Amino acid sequence: MPWRDVLQMAWRNIGQARLRFVLTCLGVLIAISTLVALVSFGAGLRQQTVENLEVREVFTSFQILGPGRAQSFRRFRDPDPDPNTGGSRARPVLDEALVRRVAALDGVVSVQPDIRFAARLEHGDKVHLTRVRGAGPHVAPLSPYSKITDGRFLSGTNGAEIVLTGRVARRLGFEPPGQAVGETIQLLTDRLKPQVTEGDLPFETVRLDFQVVGVLPRLLPNQTNPFFRGVVVPLDEARRLWKENASGMASLSGLTSLEEGRGREYDSVDVRVADLVSLERVREEVRSWGAATFAIVDQMKRIQEAFLVLEVVLGVLGGIAMLVASLGIANVLIISVMERRQVIGIMKAIGGTDRDVRRIFLAEAGLIGFSGGVVGLLAGWTLTRIATVFIDRYFQSHEILNPPDLFAYPLWLVAGAIGFAVGLSLLSGVIPANRASRVDPVQALRQG
């Protein structure tokens, strides 16, 4: 019997028990939609992570770590102890001299010292405690600075300019946040000073006026660097305040540097290079100086493995639902064999073979799996689109710009979902099909 006739007969048999077919397909639909939703969530997380890393150009950048950061990244610490000396090579001081030395290397695009310190902002009767970061105009094309919604970015590395986030602007009384552009706010921070008398405090509060030139939107932490919650001031101005800031001296890097007699050091230095070839060459040169470095490219394999494990776990959870649905398919087909014994007997009596009978029941199982798989895929996609709408509304209510699409549908997921549904349905139909092929036509006709 040709396959065309087998499929036609299988479809006709299914049509004679529409309710049973619909209910069985519904089980497959629920299983596949669950499987698709879970796996697409894992695929979406991986896609968003990799894309955000690419946008941030982390594949062509690395960090030179200060003493505190080097201890935090102990398992990534580089360089290894020098076998010739029996210990680690002398670590260079992360100061302006090192920044200039790195900037002079061939292939280096920019060098940005990590300057952060705590400060208090005031505008009228509004007060907000935040973190200040120094930056220059060269980072304006990079996220998150390229996403300024009002005003502009810093025009230079000097001057009394400041860029706020929307959250900070609201805390200072600006509603909408764009109204802050052009306004003057005060920045208060602590500065070390010599003690003239025994009762003097070793620090004093500095109050500076800054003009707001731009407002950044609120972004997700995984879409940008960790500084988006604070404010940004010109790099040289931030460097001057940072060197005199008392809280920075109490940091892990500050205490370690003072203990080693190195003076004030940066926590880290961000280095951007032209390409991956330059990345390896520049890092090797910096490591030869005795500095510890860290680059996200070193951990990409672990990141990919972590997401692979997540997708496998989510896939197994969805596969359990499909396994339950396959048991329903097997049960329905076994009942169908019992109900159609006489039909099977007549088919065999007029020349049908065991192979023909087996193929008809397997075709029925395959049609159930294919129908449930296709509709389940559409249902899963619809479910994730509805979830995306609610996620977007939630982020928008919290004023977060560009919320990520947490669900992805790569081709392998679409094809794999349908193939998995058909394959497992065929597998569940093997026992009923074999049972049907062993029906004795004489006994079947006699019982009929």
The confidence score (pLDDT) of residue 212 equals 95
pLDDT band at residue 246, thresholds of 50, 70 and 90?
low
pLDDT level of residue 79 (50, 70, 90 thresholds)? very low
What gap in Å lies between CA 231 and CA 134, rounded to an integer?
9
pLDDT digits (tens, 9 = 90+) for 313-355: 877 877 787 788 888 888 888 888 887 778 878 887 888 788 8
**Whether residue 194 has pLDDT greater than 70:** no
Residue 281 has pLDDT above 80, yes or no: yes
C-alpha dihedral, 100 to 102 to 108 to 109, nearest 10° = -40
pLDDT value at position 163?
A: 93
Say whether the peptide bond before residue 79 is cis (omega within 30 degrees of 0). yes
Q: 366: alpha, beta or left, given left = phi > 0 and alpha = psi -120 to 50? A: alpha
Evaluate if residue 297 carries a pLDDT over 80. no
| pLDDT computed for residue 83 by the predictor | 41
Number of helices and strands (H, E) in the chain?
15, 11
Region class of 57: left (phi > 0), else alpha (psi between -120 and 50), else beta? left
Most confident of 38-42, 121-125, 243-247: 121-125
The answer to pTM > 0.95 is no
The whole-number pLDDT of residue 201 equals 64
How many percent of the chain have pLDDT more than 90? 12
The 3-state DSSP class for residue 287 equals helix
CA angle (398, 401, 403) in 5-degree steps: 85
pLDDT score of 120 more than 70: yes
* Cα 385 from Cα 407, distance rounded (Å): 8
Choice among 143-157, 215-229, 232-246, 316-330 with the minimum mean pLDDT: 215-229
Which pLDDT score, from 0 to 100, does residue 268 have?
A: 84
The per-residue pLDDT of the chain, averaged, comes to 78
pLDDT of residue 70: 54
Confidence of residue 82 (pLDDT cuts 50, 70, 90): very low
- The region of weakest confidence among 48-62, 132-146, 267-281 is 48-62
CA distance 341 to 348: 11
Per-residue pLDDT, 114: 83
| pLDDT exceeds 70 at position 378 | yes
Instruction: Look at residue 401 in the predicted model and tell me its pLDDT.
Output: 59
pLDDT at 29 > cutoff 70 = yes
**Dihedral of the CA atoms 96, 100, 102, 104 (nearest 10)?**
180
Q: Does the structure show a pLDDT above 70 at 77? A: no
Nearest Cα neighbor of 27 from 422, 423, 321, 365 is 321
Mean pLDDT for 259-276 is: 74
Position 85 scores a pLDDT of 37
